Copies of this chain bind each other. A is one copy, B any other.
Amino acid sequence: MKDIVVRLSDGADITLRRAESKDLPSIVDLLADDPLGSTREGADTGYGPYEHAFEEISADSRQLLVVAVDEQEIVGTLQLTVIPGLSRRGARRAQIEGVRVSRRYRSRGLGAAMIQWAIRESAASQCVLVQLTSDKSRVDAHRFYERLGFAATHEGFKMSL
C-alpha cells in the first residue's frame, strides 16, 4: 500500500501506512485498551506470540495490517484480509478485523477514515464484498458501521477452541 494522509474534522493530519515491527508494542496497547480486549490482550508474558503473528501477517500477501500515525504516535489500527472463494461467481471478499482507535482520537472521524480507506483498498484488490463482525455488545460500533454503508445482514457465529 501507498502511505496516505487523512485530515480529521479538527484539522489533524493522520498518516495511514503498513504496520512495521517497531509498531508492535503500540498496537498491543491499542488492542488491550478496549472493554473486550482488556481481558484477552497484553504483553504480560512478553511480545513473543504477537511477534510471531506479525511475521505471519507480513509474509502473507493477502494480509494487510495498517496503522494510523499522528506524528510518531500510533493512534489506530486495523487488519484487512483478502479471501479468495468460489461463491458469488468466484468472488474475492475482503474482511476487516482488529479495528481499534486510540481513546483521544475517537469521535474525530479517524475510524471512519480508516474504514473508508479499507473499502477503497478492497475494491482496488478486486473484492466484490467487504465484511466484518462486531460483538453484539458494541452497539455504538454497529451504528458507526451502518452509517458507513454496511448492513447487519448476517449472524456472526464464533466458537473458542
Instruction: Please give the count of copies of this chain that the complex contains.
Output: 2
Contacts A135-B154, A153-B156 given; indicate if A86 touches B161 (C-beta within 8 A).
no
Q: Is there contact, CB below 8 Å, between A83 and B95?
A: yes
- The yes or no answer to A71 lying at the interface (CB within 8 A) is no
Q: Is there contact, CB below 8 Å, between A119 and B161?
A: yes
Q: Which residues of B contact A90 (CB under 8 A)?
A: 49-54
In the complex, which of the residues B31, B86, B123, B161 contacts A98, with contact meaning CB atoms closer than 8 Å?
A: B86
- The yes or no answer to A89 lying at the interface (CB within 8 A) is yes
Q: How far is the CB of A67 from chain B (nearest CB, A)?
A: 11
In the complex, which of the residues B57, B89, B119, B130 contacts A86, with contact meaning CB atoms closer than 8 Å?
A: B57
In the complex, which of the residues B49, B52, B157, B161 contacts A152, with contact meaning CB atoms closer than 8 Å?
A: B157
Q: Is there contact, CB below 8 Å, between B151 and A159?
A: yes
For the complex, give the distance between the alpha carbons of A57 and B54 in Å. Answer: 22
For the complex, give the distance between the alpha carbons of A53 and B82 in Å. Answer: 12
Across the interface, name the chain B residue whose C-beta is closest to A63.
B84
- The yes or no answer to A18 lying at the interface (CB within 8 A) is no
Across the interface, name the chain B residue whose C-beta is closest to A77.
B86
Q: What is the interface of chain A, defined by CB distance below 8 A to chain B?
A: 24, 27-28, 31, 37, 40-42, 49-54, 56-57, 60, 62-63, 65, 77, 79, 81, 83-92, 95, 97-98, 119, 122-123, 127-136, 142, 145-146, 148-161
Beyond the given A131-B133, A154-B156, please list 9 additional residue pairs across the A-B interface where CB-CB is below 8 A: A28-B86, A31-B87, A40-B88, A50-B86, A53-B84, A79-B86, A83-B97, A133-B154, A135-B153
